[in-house]
Amino acid sequence: MIWIPITVAAAALQVARNAAQRSVMGGAGPWGATLVRFLFGLPFATLFAGHAWALTPGAQAHVSLWFWLACLAGAAAQMGATAAQLVAMQRSTFALGTALQQSGLPFALVWGALVFGDHISAMAWAGGLVATAGLAALTWPRGAVVLRPGAALSGLGAGALFALSANCFRQASLAFDPGHPVASAFVTVMVVQAIQTVALTSVLALRNPQTLRAVLAAWRQSLGAGFCGAAASGLWFTAMTLSPVGPVRAVGVVEMPIAALAGNRLFAERLTLLQVAAGLVTAVGVVMAALG
C-alpha cells in the first residue's frame, strides 16, 4: 500500500507544477507552458534518474523493444491528450473542458483491465466510478453550458488519451526493471521527457518560434515548474509501477476536494452544498479505490 502516500505526494507536487506553469502561460501560451514541463523538467529528471539508479543496489536495465514502444506510445498519447484538452476548452469553457477530462479515470480502469491485463478488484472499479461521478459534479461549470461542435468528443478523447499514456508509462517502467520500481520509474520519466522535449521543441521551432523564445525568456519561473514536474512524474510513475493505473488515478483526484476546501479556508471562497456533497462523494470513491 506504499503507492497510496506516493500518489498523494505526486498530486501535491502536480498542483505546485500547475501553479508554476500558469505563471508563464501569459507570455508563452498554452503550448509554451506545456513545453516548460518537458524542457525544464528534463535536467531534473536526468538528475533524479541518475541518483535513483546509483542508490539502488542490483538494479539492471532491460532496454527492450517493448520498453521503447511503450515510451513512444505514451509520450505521443500524452501530447495528443494535451492538444485534445486545449481544443475542448477552446470550444466550450475551461471549467467544462476540465470536467470532461475526468473521463480519464474510468478510461484508465478500462485500458488497464482490457488491454494490459491488470487485475482490478470490484471495489476498485466501484471506487473509480464513484470518484469520477463526484469529481464531475465538483468540476462541472455553473450556469449556462456552451458546447460547440466537437467539444464533448475532444474532452472525452483527452481523457481516453491521458489514461492510455499512463498505462503505457506503467508498461514501460515494468519492462525496464520490475524488481526496482523507483529506479525504473525515474529512468522511464527521463526517457519520456527527452522524447517529448525533442518533439515539441522541434515543432515550435518550425511553426511558432516566438513561443519558443518566450519559453526561454521565462527560464527563471520555468525552473520551478520543471523541478516540480519531474518530481511529480517520478512519483506518479513509481505509484503506477506498484499498482494498476486506475486505482492510482482514483487516489490522485484527492487533490480536487482538498483544493476546494483550501480555497474556502484560505481565500474565503464559498462552497455550495452541491460542491460539498460532490467532494464527500469523491472522497468515498478515493477510499474505496485505495482499499480495493
Task: Report d(CA 217, CA 118) in Å as an integer.
Answer: 44
How far apart CA 274 and CA 285 sit, in angstroms, is: 16
What is the average per-residue pLDDT within 247-272?
64
- Asked whether the CA dihedral 200, 85, 90, 98 is positive or negative, the reply is negative
User: Rounded mean pLDDT of 255-279?
Assistant: 61
- The model's pLDDT over 60-105, given as tens digits with 9 standing for 90+, comes to 889 899 999 999 999 999 888 877 877 776 676 655 666 666 677 7
Instruction: Say which residues have a Cβ less than 8 Å from residue 103's Cβ, sequence separation at least 6.
Output: 132, 155, 156, 159, 160
Produce one character per residue of 213-231: b if its CB has 16 or more CB atoms within 10 Å, e if not.
ebbeebeebbbbbbbbbbb
Q: Which residue has the cell 489514461?
A: 163
Query: 149: how many CB neighbours lie within 10 A of its CB?
Result: 8
Which residues, including other chains, have CB under 8 Å from residue 229's CB and lie 6 or more apart? 13, 14, 17, 21, 36, 37, 38, 40, 41, 44
* Mean pLDDT lowest among 166-170, 190-194, 288-292: 288-292
Residue of 292, 289, 257, 291 whose CA lies nearest to 127: 289
The pLDDT-based confidence of 199 (bands split at 50, 70, 90) is: very high
Quick check: 42 pLDDT over 90?
yes
Does residue 39 have a pLDDT over 50?
yes
Confidence of residue 191 (pLDDT cuts 50, 70, 90): very high
- Here the cell at position 50 is 541518475
3-39 vs 245-252: helix axis angle to the nearest 10? 80
Higher pLDDT, 221 or 49: 49
Convert the pLDDT of each residue in 111-161 to its tens digit.
888 777 778 788 888 887 887 787 777 666 666 666 677 777 888 888 889
pLDDT at 67: 96
pLDDT more than 70, % of the chain: 79
- Which of 169-183, 243-257, 258-272 is predicted most confidently? 169-183
Query: What CA–CA distances, in Å, run from 213 to 35, 204, 207, 224, 269?
Result: 12, 10, 12, 18, 37
**If you search the block for the grid coordinates 501560451, which residue do you land on?**
29
pLDDT band at 266 (very low <50, low <70, confident <90, very high): very low
